[in-house]
Structure 1
Amino acid sequence: MPKQTFFNLPEDKKETLINAAMKEFSRVPLFEASISNIIKDAGIPRGSFYQYFEDKEDVFFYLLNENSKRDNEKFTSILREKNGDLFDSFIDFFHYMLIKFRSMENCNFFRNTFLNMNYKVENTLTQNVNADENPLSEIMGLINTEKLNITDKKELFHVLKIFMAVTFQNLIHNFAKDLPLNEAINNYTLELSFLKKGVYKDMYK
């Protein structure tokens, strides 16, 4: 997380630094990014950067975490609109994510993020679902479980992790292949339909 000195900055200076970081992480993935480029674009000395952040990973994961908070709020809003329907909510959320990525000025930030996914990135994008207390608690409370073949919160938690894994894999595939919007949504919907109805025929149940 950023140091307190960053949060104490005037809003315009914080925005300038954040925009410079987004520009650099949109240009190249995290491991190739340069602090020199960030401070040059932000117009600050190198020493000032280290007063605000520990390193480039610190500012990168701050940006990612802030975006994840907004996405979590959006998914929660969709879930309420869909009266807790898990499948419809994920399909709408996936569509929202695709539209957002295609329209954002810094869409390459997310392209670089998803195409260079690792455990820490995934955990940040999911708001650290493995923590004892996490934003999934609110989401789980909104899900309509009447039609789900689960017995307790532990099973619901794992169902959500499966949905998230399918969602991330489809987003990665979308960025890697530059799929048309309809094709990406159809692929995702098809995979969720298998989760909804299962892949075994009745004779094997």
Structure 2
Amino acid sequence: MPNPTFFNLAEEKRRELIRAAYQEFSRAPFAEALIANIVKSAGISRGSFYQYFEDKEDLYFYLLNKHAEKSKERFYKSLKERDGDLMEAFVDMFQQMLEKFDNAEYRGFFQNTFLNMNHRIENTFTRSFDEGKYHAELVEISEQVDREKINFSSDKEFIHMVNMTRAITFRHMMKHFANQESSKEEAIEDYRFDIELLKRGFSK
């Protein structure tokens, strides 16, 4: 997380630093991004950067965490609007993610993120560094799910169900960014196809 000095900055300076960070992480994957480019674009010294963030990783995961929080809020809202239909809430969330991530301001950043996905990045999106907290949140979600529309008999089953669905979600997001010719409509149709398979099941 940023140091308190970052939040004490004038809003315009914070926005400029964040803009520079998105620009650099859009230019190159995290491993190749340079702090030198960020501070030059933001018009600050390297020393000032380290007053705000511990390192490049601290800044990068701060940006991801902000998006993870918003995605979580959208998911809860979709689940409520869909009357507890878990799978339709996932479809809604996937569509909303595509629309946001395909925005010119964020596309390069998330293209580099999803095409270089690792365990920590995935966990940031699902807020699961703290497994106990993550499981507690899933149990809370399960209480809002319409049991007539999905079949699970325990918290453990529900947690595994969500984990499998989120894995499919990330795979489709990576596929969309890897295939530059794929439209959002095609990506959503392809994702819904897999969701329908999950809902139907595989065994006769």
Query: In the alignment, which residue of structure 1 is the partner of 2:174?
Result: 172
Instruction: Using the aligned pairs only, state the percent identity.
Output: 47
State the alpha-carbon separation in 1 of the partners of residues 33 and 58 from structure 2.
Answer: 12
Please give the secondary structure, in 1, of the residue aligned with 2:102. helix
Which residue identity lines up with residue 156 of structure 2 in the other structure?
K
Q: Which residue pairs with 2:127 in the alignment?
A: 127
TM-score (normalizing by structure 2) = 0.93
1:30 aligns with 2:10: no
Matched, 1:9 2:9: yes
- Residue 129 of structure 1 deviates from its aligned partner by 6.5
Match of 2:184 in 1: 181
Structure 2 partner of 1:162: 164
- Partners of 2:203 and 2:99 lie apart in 1 by 34
Say which of 171, 180, 198 aligns to 1:195: 198
Q: Distance in 1 between matches of 2:146 and 2:133?
A: 21
Kept in 1, the 8 Å contact 2:26–2:112? The answer is yes
For residue 117 of structure 2, give the secondary structure of its aligned residue in structure 1: coil
8 Å CA contact 1:22–1:106 kept in 2: the answer is yes
Paired with 1:148 and 1:130, the residues of 2 have a C-alpha distance of: 26
The alignment covers a number of residue pairs equal to 201
Give the deviation of 1:8 after TM superposition.
1.6
Query: Which of 152, 155, 163 is residue 153 of structure 1 equivalent to?
Result: 155
Amino acid across the alignment from 1:41:
S
TM-score by length of 1: 0.93
Q: Which amino acid aligns with 2:25?
A: F
Question: Per the alignment, do residues 157 and 130 of structure 1 end up closer, same or farther by CA in structure 2, a change over 3 Å counting?
Answer: farther
User: Are 2:79 and 2:89, in contact at CA under 8 Å, matched by a contact in 1?
Assistant: yes
Task: Return the letter of the residue paired with 1:180.
Answer: S
The answer for unaligned runs of 5 or more in structure 1 is: none
Distance 2:164 2:106 in 1: 28
Query: Which moved further from structure 2: 58-67 or 128-137?
Result: 128-137
Q: Distance in 2 between matches of 1:90 and 1:169?
A: 14
Whole-angstrom CA distance in 2 between matches of 1:104 and 1:143: 34
Q: Tell me the SS of whatever aligns to 1:142.
A: coil
Post-superposition offset of 1:16: 1.0
